[in-house]
Amino acid sequence: MIFRQFKPEDLDSIVLLEKRAFPVGPYTRSMLKKVFSARDSFNFVAEESGIIRGYTVALPLDEKSADVESIAVDPDLHRGGLGTLLLGKIENAMRERSFQYSVLEVRDKNDEAINFYKKHGYVAITHMPTYYTEIFRGSRGAYRMVKKL
């Protein structure tokens, strides 16, 4: 597995991965292009044999905090450690940029993801009952989770 920065020619593959990883409410092509192309954006793409298997992208919120905008792993590779590697890489990049906190939002009914983030030191600080437009497992809610870096 190779970890590298996003390249514009990755967008088509990332759009396909996004749809596979998030069957409900995936980011659109334009949203993904916007977040990866933002001036302050930083990211990692996980590539294996020329195929993008995962990615993570973050944006600064303020001087102290950066937001993990998205992290996705090919569903065929779930529970294989790639998510942990990607999360670690983006958190290390945050530290290198002197951020003190990593922030993210996760669907409140996505127990697998919530437990993943808790295992990696994140704590839910806010519940937002109508954060998403699409319903997932009967809810549009999300938790905002934070980790001190």
Pairing of β 65-73 and β 101-107? parallel
What percent of the chain shows pLDDT beyond 90? 93
Question: Could you report the per-residue pLDDT of 42-59, keeping only the tens digit for each?
Answer: 999 999 999 999 999 999
Name residue, tokens 């930083």.
42
What is the model's pLDDT at position 26?
92
Per-domain boundaries in the chain: 2-148
Q: What is the structure's pLDDT at 113? A: 94
pLDDT in tens, 125-135: 999 999 999 98
Residue 91, CA distances (Å) to 62, 76, 86, 134, 146 in order: 15, 24, 9, 28, 12
Predicted pLDDT of residue 78 = 86
Specify the CATH superfamily of domain 2-148: Gcn5-related N-acetyltransferase (GNAT) (3.40.630.30)
- How confident is the model at residue 124, as a pLDDT? 97
Task: Write the pLDDT tens digit of every residue in 58-99.
Answer: 999 999 999 999 999 999 998 889 999 999 999 999 999 999
